[in-house]
Structure 1
Amino acid sequence: MFQMADPDPDLAEQWRQLMSCYHGTACALERELSQRHGLGLSEFETLDLLMKAPDCRRLVHELLASTHLTQSALSRTVARLEKRGLVTRSMCANDRRSVTVTPTEEGRSVHAEALPTHRAVLSEHLGARSTRA
């Protein structure tokens, strides 16, 4: 059987290292955010995106464009956050087909409490990696 020469033998290894870094970081974030704050990673990321918006609100399709989640996964995430009282959903005044998501005061508080945990895990997993590169 004929095998083609690999034009960049390190490329696949770089990909595997990237995936390993992502997986290890995501698992650590999921564990720490869940244990310390009762949030899943997707829930924290959704709150974080809302808090970064100029008026702390986003349309669902804007959240979708800024996250790795599918539309159905984002919908479930927002529903969980809403059930916990961390966000509200409302119809967009300009486009009745669009839904706006806004953090509640409790959502802002939970995000503020979880933010140092999130950043500490990122620093632990990515900070050391960036100094090795």
Structure 2
Amino acid sequence: MAVTKSERALVQQWRDVLALHARTTCELDRALHQHGLGASDFEVLDVLAEASAEDGGAAYRVQDIASRVHLSQSALSRLVARLEKEGLVTRGMCSEDRRGVRVALTDAGRARHAEVRPLQRAVLSRMLTESPGSASRR
């Protein structure tokens, strides 16, 4: 089966997206490590902070967070447990569905997010605005 030029270009474009994601995640992990966070940790804090800003501090259901941070529910549950142990989030049962779990930022989580947000945004800006050629030479 012959591979067409357009198919090769499509696959290369996909691989470039994956490579950019991997490089960006590694850069975020390196930058956030000094603050005791990884890229996924920050994403959860960021989603919760956005929710707090929009609706005055309400909690998010775990499955809603999972769909926004692209983690499996089990991986997210472990991450949330770690963040809770560090005092950055709290977990509680959903009042409308006793099987569900809601997660909310603590004051410490809000403070850590505010402290680290500029660093995370700077890494995103640098990684996502540099030219593709310079990114592949890293």
TM-score (normalised: structure 1) = 0.89
Structure 1 CA distance, aligned partners of 2:122 and 2:91? 30
Query: What is the DSSP-based 3-state SS (H/G/I as helix, E as strand, rest coil) of the residue aligned with 2:130?
Result: helix
After TM superposition, the runs of 4+ consecutive aligned structure 1 residues lying more than 4 A away are none
- Name the counterpart of 1:128: 130
After superposing the two structures, state which structure 1 stretch, 88-97 or 111-120, moved more. Answer: 88-97
- Name the counterpart of 2:40: 42
Give the 5 Å matches for 1:31-70: 31-35=30-34, 37-53=35-51, 54-55=54-55, 56=57, 57-70=59-72
1:55-98 deviation per Cα after TM superposition (whole angstroms, max 9, x unaligned): 34201111111121111110010000000000000111111111
- Name the counterpart of 1:22: 21
Q: Determine what percentage of the aligned residue pairs are the same residue.
A: 48
- The one of 90, 94, 101 aligned to 1:99: 101
Q: State the aligned residue count.
A: 128
The gaps in structure 1 that reach 5 residues or longer are none
Q: CA RMSD in A?
A: 1.7
Structure 2 CA distance, aligned partners of 1:83 and 1:100? 16
Q: Is 2:89 the partner of 1:87?
A: yes
TM-score (normalised: structure 2) = 0.86
The AA in structure 2 aligned to 1:49 is: V
Query: What is the DSSP-based 3-state SS (H/G/I as helix, E as strand, rest coil) of the residue aligned with 1:89?
Result: strand
The AA in structure 2 aligned to 1:20 is: A
Structure 2 CA distance, aligned partners of 1:64 and 1:109? 22
